[in-house]
Amino acid sequence: MSQLTFLGSCREIGRSGFYLENKDESIIVDYGAKLSTPPEFPDMVPLDNLQGIALTHAHLDHSGGVPRILSQTEASLFCTPATRDLTLLLLRDMHNISKGRLPFTRKDIPLVRRQCQATAYEETIPLGHHFEMTLFNAGHIPGSSMVSVRVNGKRVLFTGDVNATESQLNLGARKNLPKHDIVVTESTYARRTNPDRVEIEKALVDTVIETMERGGTVLIPAFAVGRSQEMMCILEQNNIPQKYPIYLDGMARKVNEVLTRHPEYLQSPQSFSRAVGRTRIIQDNRDRTKAAKSGGIIISPAGMLKGGASHLYFKLLHDDPKNSIVLVSFQIPGTPGAELIRTGKVLVGSREYEVAADVRMHHLSSHSDSRGLLDLLTRIPGDPEFHIVHGESESCDKLQDLLQKKGRKANVPEVNEMIEI
């Protein structure tokens, strides 16, 4: 008999982790952080007979605790090469801002590369005597995977974060998946229906052009991994006039370097290469001040205005109605981006700023919405049993209800709940 334990991401987004055991062997799928202060991690599990760790993608809520595991075992890490390299970037950044409040040291981070067995999509890898693992494209960010594990005659799918909708950056998730018996699925947007992506992109480009034509500067606060590169590709595809410069700042600069090394995980390597060629790289505060006065477009982390270079740009641009601040991702309640939308004011440091610039929201999701998620899941052959994680409590319950109305078995697990397979 095999057992699956849900280590985290239960009725919450953060500290994703799953522990699968069969007889005297085990594997882990994801081991992430909850980015609270200090960060929280899943409980530790026995590692004596660990056969490997599978990582769905680089975001820290899935990868943030991986060095803790690797520092205590010689087991290999299995993920795509793009996920490996992006994870290293994000882990170093988390370590820099954590001020020593992590269960591993900076010296443990290189183990992600040293112990990684880079794995391609559709490649089946034996793990120990009892497990086989296959990665399928998840469509969330470049290199993201759904992890399929065969054990004890059963097949278990971990969706990670999944998006079946193609974007200018990513191919959509694989939809024609093989038969599975158990599916552990995210539920981030189970209560949301996303607007048409083509319409959002058009509205975004219209906002940019309107701002340029009135002599303003556009600030696009964007996540360093995925969203910044998608903004670059959208602007390139829509032929923003060359007279309007496009700038890129923050960690997104290094992410570009990673993705240039791994073009096989991009929707169009040629389009991405053109977008990179069009973009001007910001090096220092002198460049930032110049860019803010340029009448151009600035793409800069952080995506919710929580910090990073976007704070400096905000201070330089917020008080001129010719400028625009364009938010392109979900803004968690309580973050500066969410407060900007709600009140037109932002607290930066100890000062509250009233914003005269034009504020727009053009949300480009990297997760499937309710319809897309239900369509993807109900296509999976084998009448699998669904276990719903990675969502606010209401989202988990909503997806459970939607699946049950389709006649499917669905459960919302609690932290450290164990099921038999």
C-alpha distances (whole Å) from 163 to each of 10, 106, 306, 345 are 20, 32, 25, 32
Check if the beta carbon of residue 222 is closer than 8 Å to that of residue 328. yes
Q: Is the pLDDT of residue 273 over 80?
A: yes
pLDDT tens figures, 162-182:
999 999 999 999 999 999 999
Q: Is the pLDDT of residue 347 over 90?
A: no
Same domain? For 178 and 215 the reply is no
Same domain? For 39 and 117 the reply is yes
Same domain? For 372 and 350 the reply is no
Q: Output the pLDDT for position 333.
A: 78
The least confident of 86-100, 170-184, 247-261 is 86-100
pLDDT tens figures, 35-53:
888 899 999 999 999 999 9
Q: Is the pLDDT of residue 198 over 90?
A: yes
The least confident of 287-296, 341-350, 386-395 is 341-350
Same domain? For 222 and 187 the reply is no
Q: Is the pLDDT of residue 297 over 90?
A: yes
Read off the CATH number of the domain in which 292 is found. 3.40.50.10890
Distance CA 269, CA 248 (A): 18
Check if the beta carbon of residue 327 is closer than 8 Å to that of residue 336. no
In this prediction, residues 62-76 reach a mean pLDDT of 98
Same domain? For 258 and 143 the reply is no
Q: Output the pLDDT for position 303.
A: 85
Q: Output the pLDDT for position 289.
A: 94
Query: Which of 361, 380, 396 represents a domain boundary (last residue)?
Result: 361
In this prediction, residues 361-367 reach a mean pLDDT of 93
Distance CA 19, CA 44 (A): 10
Q: Output the pLDDT for position 99.
A: 79
Read off the CATH number of the domain in which 123 is found. 3.60.15.10
Query: Which of 361, 382, 406 represents a domain boundary (last residue)?
Result: 361
Same domain? For 100 and 247 the reply is no
Q: Output the pLDDT for position 37.
A: 81
Q: Is the pLDDT of residue 332 over 80?
A: no
Structural domains of the chain, count = 2
Percent of the chain with pLDDT over 70: 100
Same domain? For 251 and 188 the reply is no
Q: Output the pLDDT for position 304.
A: 85
Same domain? For 33 and 167 the reply is yes
Global confidence as pTM: 0.95
Same domain? For 323 and 372 the reply is no
Q: Could you tell me the residue range of the domain that residue 399 belongs to?
A: 2-192+366-420
Same domain? For 254 and 307 the reply is yes
Instruction: Give me the amino acid identity at 115.
Output: Q
pLDDT tens figures, 106-147:
999 999 999 999 999 999 999 999 999 999 999 999 999 999
Same domain? For 219 and 167 the reply is no
In this prediction, residues 317-335 reach a mean pLDDT of 91
pLDDT band at 97 (very low <50, low <70, confident <90, very high): confident
C-alpha distances (whole Å) from 270 to each of 205, 226, 254, 277 are 21, 17, 19, 11
Cβ burial of 47 (10 Å; 0-12, 13-18, 19+) is middle
Same domain? For 129 and 205 the reply is no
pLDDT band at 308 (very low <50, low <70, confident <90, very high): confident
In this prediction, residues 224-237 reach a mean pLDDT of 95
Using alpha carbons, select from 266, 287, 257 the residue that is nearest to residue 168. Answer: 266
- Which has the higher per-residue pLDDT, 345 or 255? 255
Query: Which of 312, 342, 361 represents a domain boundary (last residue)?
Result: 361
